[in-house]
Amino acid sequence: MQRLNTRDPGFDAAFRRLVSDRRESGENVAHDVSRILSDVRSRGDEALAELTFRFDAHSLSKDENWQISKDACREAFDDLAPDLRAALELAAERIRAYHTDQLPADRDFTDEAGVRLGAKWRSVDAAGLYVPGGRAAYPSSLLMNAIPAKVAGVERLVVITPTPNGEANPLVLAAAHIAGVDELWRIGGAQAIAALAYGTKRIAPVDVITGPGNAWVAEAKRQLYGVVGIDMVAGPSEILVIADGKNDAEWIAADLLSQAEHDPVSQSILITDDPVLADSVADRVGVELAILPTAKVASQSWNDHGVIIEVGTLDEAPALANALAAEHVELAIDDPEPMMQAICHAGSVFLGRLTPEAVGDYVAGPNHVLPTGRRARFASGLSVLDFMKRTSFIQMDDRAIAAIGPAAIALAEAEGLPAHARSIELRLGI
């Protein structure tokens, strides 16, 4: 774990290195993914079967091994313990309510020149959702991806998830039932992304692919952007906690480890103006790791990428936070509102000491699929808009084209495009 202090002479250089550290896939991953995509595009289901057996030890030799039925998903939901079923239903209800409020409104108006203008929002026809199934299986991720798609109006919702050794996580199946998933395929990795993008004999292509995955999945989405739409190229998880000395070190340590346990290359950062809290949190992380079942992963993340930054005053924190543009930002301070207003770049912000990031992963309502790797500077979390597209429209009568047509003719002629100008001139009788 790295300790930095803004008052140290070498801080600026050290902080620049921290900001520029991408912690993402290298050229070897890009090359491997390119080969997998090409293989699936040329050989389709045959390539999928070979790769699924190689990476997941799951045979697709029989037709029934390819998909998980809706009946199986319903049975998994029915078999859940009542408290777990209620938790999933609460999460789904809150996610659905939040994303329903995101639905955009169509526009249709006539301006002063008499030109009718507007835009119509429509959903994509089909969406593919990736749900991890390797290091951990996440029913919450399925809900966070599937429910916004359904709210947007997507008619065909396809989930792809690896099933190592043929074993599917019953919680993922139950979440698929709650969300109303139409197809659930037992494939994962870059090959699954390729199948959704290009289509195979068994799997029809989709228009948009969303959902988090490992480095190979992220790289496959990056390479296939343009063939299909994607939500984002997601990297390892991140959390930035900004805390004053009034905090309980145990709480803050737990918050930092909540992201460290995701992946060995996840990153957890604490910014504080209290050196006593900094020391206490560093000590408490060690205590928490000693009792944490996911300590192997969390320890590697914390030891290799964890950072504690001491500042002279928390007034310095927003500038540092904006430079980091972290996926998750917790403001564990008395009055978080002014600081939230000063932080322009963050995937999601959690206000106050009683709002841990982990609640946002499950039941708060806003989406937990968020930009990483400083992409919060220009990108947003997953929303219904990722499953929709906007079509503008224009309508003119004689008065309207007479009002604005001559200006269009002048611009077309200036650009050396006489056919453009003539198409307008003919309507004006010029």
Give catalytic residue positions: 327-328
Q: List, in sequence order, the alpha helices (H) in 292-373.
A: 295-305, 317-324, 336-342, 357-362
Strand partners for 209: 128, 230
- Contact between residue 330 and residue 241 where contact means Cβ atoms under 8 Å apart: yes
Strands 116-123 and 307-310: unpaired
Q: In the 3-class helix/strand/coil scheme, how is 138-168 assigned residue by residue?
A: CHHHHHHHHHHHHHHCCCEEEEECCCHHHCC
For 402-408, the CB contacts below 8 A with 24+ separation are 402/428, 403/113, 403/114, 403/115, 404/113, 404/115
Of 388, 389, 407, which is closest to residue 115 (Cα–Cα)?
A: 407
d(CA 207, CA 152): 14
> In Å, how far from its chain's centre is CA 108?
32
Of 337, 336, 420, 323, which is closest to residue 374 (Cα–Cα)?
A: 323
Kindly tell me the sign of the dihedral angle through the C-alpha atoms of 352, 357, 362, 367: positive
